[in-house]
Amino acid sequence: MKTLIVLFLVAGLMLGCNKQNVNYKITEGYYEGYFDYKNTLYWCLIHLEDKKYVEWPSGGVWLQKSFGCLTVGDYSINGNRLFFELDSFKFEDFPEPCESDMLLPGEYKIHDFIEQDSLIFEKGNGNSRIVYYLKRDK
């Protein structure tokens, strides 16, 4: 009986350790959802294709990023980290100011994939913490 308990403990530890070394793979496409920033939920849409990303405006949803915050660039994954690198702003001359914490480029920790079509990732802490909850549009 003790041997069985030890085997379960070792198996549990191995599974727990393996989760930390997971290499995530994102299915390309449009990911729609929201992000939580300062306890407010904002709508967002991000297109991922060929290691490139493009943020899109909603076309009428009330709580969303300023058009001046929408970006275009490259993305990559390393282990449980997701990186967005800025190439340019989608609407460079948009006059409305952008809350810099709301810019997508940066390093994020991937929390979860659900059925390869949902993605949860976050960066920052305290007042600058931002968490994205996205689902791939099929």
Q: Is the pLDDT reported for residue 4 higher than 50?
A: no
For 17-40, the pLDDT digits (tens) are 444 556 677 888 999 999 999 889
CA proximity to 67, closest of 52, 83, 45: 45
Domain, as residue range, for 65? 23-137
pLDDT tier at 8, thresholds 50, 70, 90: very low
Q: Is the pLDDT reported for residue 49 higher than 90?
A: yes
CATH code where residue 72 lies = 2.40.128.280
The mean pLDDT of the chain is 80
* 50 part of a folded domain: yes
* 81 part of a folded domain: yes
Q: What are phi and psi of 133, to 5 degrees?
A: -125, 100
Name the more confident of 97 and 38.
Answer: 38
**Spatial contact of 71 and 91, defined as CB atoms under 8 Å apart:** no
Domain count, the chain: 1
% the chain with pLDDT above 70: 76
* 78 part of a folded domain: yes
Interstrand relation of 29-37 and 71-78 (parallel, antiparallel or unpaired): unpaired
pTM (2 decimals)? 0.78
* 15 part of a folded domain: no
For 62-87, the pLDDT digits (tens) are 788 888 889 999 999 998 899 999 99
Name the more confident of 112 and 19.
Answer: 112
Q: Is the pLDDT reported for residue 15 higher than 80?
A: no
